[in-house]
Amino acid sequence: MPLPASPYLEAFRSPRLAAVLLLGFSSGLPLALTGGTLQAWLTVSQVDIVTIAWFSWIGMPYALKFLWSPLMDRFVPPLLDRRRGWILLAQVALMLGILAMGMSSPSDSLWVLGCAALWVAFFSASQDVVIDAYRTDVLRPAERGMGAAVGVFGYRMAMLASGALALMLVDEIGWRTTYFLMAALMGVGMVTAWRAPVPEVPGIVPRTLREAVVRPLCDLIARPGALALLALVMLYKFGDALAGTLSTAFLIRGVGFTPFDVGAVNKGLGLASLLIGALAGGVLLSRMSLVRALLVFGALQAVSNLSFAWLAWAGKSYPLLIFTVGFENLASGMGTAAFVAFAMALCNHSFSATQYALLSALASLGRILFGPLAGGMVQALGWEGFFVLTFVAALPGLALVWVMRANIAAVERASALPAPHVAPAS
């Protein structure tokens, strides 16, 4: 007699989670092609360092994507539906842009390469907006934790493909063919978008562009305890992000590990720990309340920063390096799963593209504002003091979770309702 299937194992058979996993891969693929991989191409082509530094601005669309996200809530493409149609259009544009990058050359057509890379970054950011919205709309409340986890898994696998794998392929097949191959991999997302399940609660399409811009903000602000909830979005990952701004510099300059040591541990153990943490967080989220997950995973995030302070105090130690990197990435992966589930619960299906883009921008605001100050903090406090400070910086977010636990529970309950939170304006 066959044993009854576990409800947690059944989640892995969900076509909605399969779509989120493959679209996560599609979302992560273009990032390195306009970032680290492109930087490597420019470097080996003897482009001067000032020009290479200016190319970092190509990533600006990722920070500004909330500006055009209302368009993706307001307008419905003529094929498929509002979410899958925009995903497919963005992916076609990405495939063309990556092909154009491959046909360009840093030596002969640097401006063409730069324009093609900016095109890819714009449509990659746009794809992220609508994939986040699709994930928010298509997943059932019980699937959100696992959906966040498999989305992170697909995203990181794609970054490995377009980062480490691409750089290894270059020696064998050259830059042009490598970029052509990466363009072909966009076909994974295109097939997925075509075959992905339609959201069961698609939301009401805003009737005007003004409604698509104003109503998402009004809907968020109208929630009980809205300002505190938005502050929680900004603060929950703040300590974790602040510690990460200088972690590589700390391991090399502060402790004395070689770049090879850091690369091997971060790329190997670090990535594996992050993925395990995200998947473990997703499984645990299906078994506990959102409030409890935010508290437990957030506490682990905060404590993991102290492992860096311990390493700074102890000095160069390979076992402690392995523990620190593994613990930090494991906790960060679990915290990310909880945070993404919380952000999805906050979104109204009618405006999920705009609201999720706004929430993700708000979550990165603290890191953007305070990240450049991290160097001065290290000079003033030393490495041990800096990482203790990042632990302290994580505490306000945890305190807000505790204070707002009733509001978070209400958000979780409301997000499970079959109808959208608000109707369109009359």
pLDDT the model gives residue 417: 55
Note whether 156 and 228 are same-domain residues: no
User: Which of 195, 225, 242 is the last residue before a domain boundary?
Assistant: 195
Same domain, yes or no, for 223 and 90? no
Cβ pair 97, 120 in contact under 8 A: yes
CA–CA separation, 335 vs 329, rounded Å?
A: 10
- Do 187 and 315 fall into the same domain? no
Taking only the tens place, the pLDDT of each residue in 198-250 is 887 767 777 788 878 888 888 888 888 888 888 888 888 888 888 877 776 77
How would residue 314 be classed by pLDDT, with cut points 50, 70 and 90? confident
Tokens 């059944």, residue?
Answer: 10
**Same-domain check for residues 358 and 248:** yes
Whether 189 and 213 map to the same domain: the answer is no
Q: Are residues 190 and 244 in the same domain?
A: no
**Which residue has 């102290």 as its token pair?**
306
Q: Is residue 223 part of a domain?
A: yes
* Same domain? 269 vs 311: yes
Domain limits at 144?
7-195
This prediction's pTM: 0.74
In a domain, 202, yes or no: no
Instruction: Provide CB contacts within 8 A for 157, sequence distance 6+.
Output: 25, 28
Which of 170-179, 263-272, 326-335 has the weakest average pLDDT?
Answer: 263-272
Last residue of a domain, one of 149, 168, 195: 195
Q: Pick the closest to residue 338 from 279, 293, 384 (CA basis).
A: 293
Instruction: For residue range 94-147, list pLDDT tens digits in order.
Output: 999 999 999 988 888 888 988 999 999 999 999 988 998 888 888 877 777 788
Average model confidence (pLDDT) for the chain?
A: 81
Same domain? For 68 and 160 the reply is yes
Residue where a domain stops, chosen among 136, 167, 195: 195
Same domain, 370 and 334: yes
By C-alpha distance, which of 48, 158, 157, 148 is closest to 98?
158
pLDDT tens string 394-421: 999 999 999 988 888 888 777 665 544 4
Query: Is residue 216 within 8 Å of residue 150, measured between CB atoms?
Result: no
The number of distinct structural domains making up the chain is 2
Q: Are residue 241 and residue 385 in the same domain, yes or no?
A: yes
Handedness of CA 245, 154, 306, 293 (dihedral sign): positive
420 inside domain: no
- Which of 308, 299, 253, 325 is CA-nearest to residue 401? 299
58 burial (CB, 10 Å; 0-12 / 13-18 / 19+) is: buried
Hey, is 14 helix, strand or coil? coil
42 Cβ contact list (under 8 Å, min separation 6): 51, 52, 55, 106
CA distance 76 to 398: 39
Indicate whether 410 and 301 sit together in one domain. Answer: yes
Identify whether 421 is part of a domain.
no
Asked whether residue 318 falls in the same domain as residue 386, the answer is yes
Q: How do the residues of the chain divide into helix, strand and coil, expressed in percent and rounded to 5?
A: 80, 0, 20
Whether residue 1 is predicted with pLDDT greater than 50 in this model: the reply is: no
Closest alpha carbon to 318 in 371, 402, 261, 235: 261
pLDDT in the model for residue 371: 63
Give me the CATH number covering residue 39.
1.20.1250.20
Other beta carbons within 10 angstroms of residue 379's beta carbon come to 9
